[in-house]
A and B are shown apart, each in its own frame.
Chain A
């Protein structure tokens, strides 16, 4: 069966055979090739297993234990971050790290070692996992933690589901005085200013990221809004969450994102701020999850779907590399509404195949225009390779195998932990095909 198991960017759009796991005691199906899947919010083919099965955990989403004294939370792998927030936020706890959507599962967050706006202080999701159980296709189960089966622990964090199925996990949540965010938005003029703002905010602000106008060229290149924030004080009133939610109930026949709509949006959005600096106290939802506000926003790109591009380039080369990448995107007159630029910190990621590493990371989506898009991606990849950076598998449907192996030098170590009964379309593309 198809629809519920298609990846978020809907490219490649191929139907996917699936089974649902409902209980922690369930075993993985006995088939030649299966891939654990959470809520299929990875953009490309890393959560897909075309020609084989996916074993979805979307019905395995129960809390197991939550201690409001210590903030330790234990839950099944299919539980979504949104459910966790609903329960723990009123009790004064928050996710230690959260990606840009709360509709990802805990298992998926571990398997992709996801990161958020506080990477410079907290590292990635895997840094806050205290233990989990790993189920293999041979039926064996391992308890993995920073002190037990540590090699399995490190292979599975960021391991793209290839080492086995995480049945349940335990996380250390973060105590916050207030879930709301005191947010400062700075309208800045160019890329150099972005890096300056990032550096000066690192020690003072828990959360930092920038929205970039990807069509601004030449001296305006990299201009955008720099967002930095801290959790509000306990005495501040919490702003209410927005009640109205938007949805894309249908598939438009064409992508609504094109060079015209993009140019209009970016110019308007950049100039939305009249002042150079604005301050506000905002609910955590629009701050962390602006896109969750529009249900099924991925449909906006029409029937051909879209591709995400997220790379990281090391600090030594980051200014030139990001400049080069933004210039090429502006020249191609492509890109998207939501372009995010952030500087990662130095907290090492645990996973053998984890994406986050020190440097600057840029993320944006592109409507799929066939070879034109692929040709642009080839150019961008070259810049990333030259700069000594990496591309994020969770967002990818394009990178070449040789590049993956260069970006993730521990792929050879990783192979001994890969479950022989598990594979993914992504893994076959980057490791098994001759590219």
Chain B
């Protein structure tokens, strides 16, 4: 049995991970903005077999509450074995281009708040000399593209931060997993046409995350074929790339 914090559990992927962990009998500490939704999810996870479920309503952008969140988790579960950071938004790229304030707020949500949470987790886990940090980044962070480079910049920042963190914590027995999903069929991506073979279900990605955490993988692309796609995209020379419509 393990004790996990899940931040952003109202996202379809994170909720699906929580279901798998609940069936394994884990203790879970759920964090999201909306109290009623947290209660709905908590009830579901209890029926599915979670040893205990505690909820904590918090906006990830309330940086000043992040420490309080960890304190509450430690108090309710007694010990923290891992944290899955899964919250995020899919920004309106056009709005980010016309307003820096929108861009900044998106970068705070998708980038800085993740870094704040991981900083606290890293220090705690380093001290207890064990723990898993798993973060949902994105393939969008692998290369800036005109269609969503603000989101990409935030996710790229997260990916590089985690690289350094993994390096720092390796000697303390703390593991960091960077998760890079491709296109996932969730309510967050409702505005897309999901007809193609590149789309994966939230359940598929969730079981990939659970497997990656179990196997202590460093960086995973989900599904795996995104590793090939992103390798190709990363290697297109810039003078060609800048003229492409991606």
Contact = CB atoms under 8 A, between A and B. Distances in A.
Interface residues of A, number: 19
Given A1-B194, A19-B190, A24-B40, A87 B47 contact: yes
Given A2-B195, A4-B185, A63-B48, A20 B43 contact: no
Contacts of B44: 62-64
A288 interface: no
A15 interface: yes
Contacts of A66: 47
Interface in B32-91: 36-37, 40-41, 43-44, 47-49
A10 to B, nearest CB: 13
A65 B47 contact: yes
B189 to A, nearest CB: 9
Interface string A44-66: 00000000000000010011111
Interface string A1-43: 1111000000000010001101111000000000000000000
B164 interface: no
B182 to A, nearest CB: 16
Contacts of A59: 12, 186-187, 202
B49 A23 contact: no
Given A19-B190, A87-B47, A3 B40 contact: no
Contact of A1 (B40, B48, B193, B202): B193
A3 B199 contact: yes
B92 interface: no
Interface string A391-405: 000000000000000
A86 interface: yes
B32 to A, nearest CB: 12
B195 A86 contact: no
Contact residues of B: prevailing secondary structure: helix
B153 to A, nearest CB: 27
Contacts of A2: 193-195
Nearest to A3: B195
B193 A86 contact: no
Interface string B166-204: 000000000000000000011100101111100100100
Contact of B49 (A15, A22, A64, A87): A87
Contact of B43 (A1, A3, A22, A63): A63
Contact of B36 (A15, A19, A25): A25
Select the residue from A20, A24, A59, A62 with max chain B CB neighbours within 10 A.
Answer: A62
Interface string B91-129: 000000000000000000000000000000000000000
Interface in B1-30: 12, 23
A62 B43 contact: yes
Interface string A91-125: 00000000000000000000000000000000000
A3 B199 CA distance: 10
A87 B49 CA distance: 8
Nearest to B193: A1
Interface of A: 1-4, 15, 19-20, 22-25, 59, 62-66, 86-87
A-B pairs, 7 with minimum CB distance = A62-B44, A63-B47, A2-B195, A1-B194, A63-B44, A1-B193, A3-B195
Given A20-B187, A63-B47, A87-B49, 4 more contacts: A1-B193, A59-B202, A65-B47, A86-B23
18 contacts: A1-B192, A1-B193, A2-B193, A2-B195, A3-B196, A3-B199, A20-B187, A23-B37, A24-B40, A25-B36, A59-B12, A59-B186, A62-B43, A63-B48, A64-B44, A66-B47, A87-B47, A87-B48
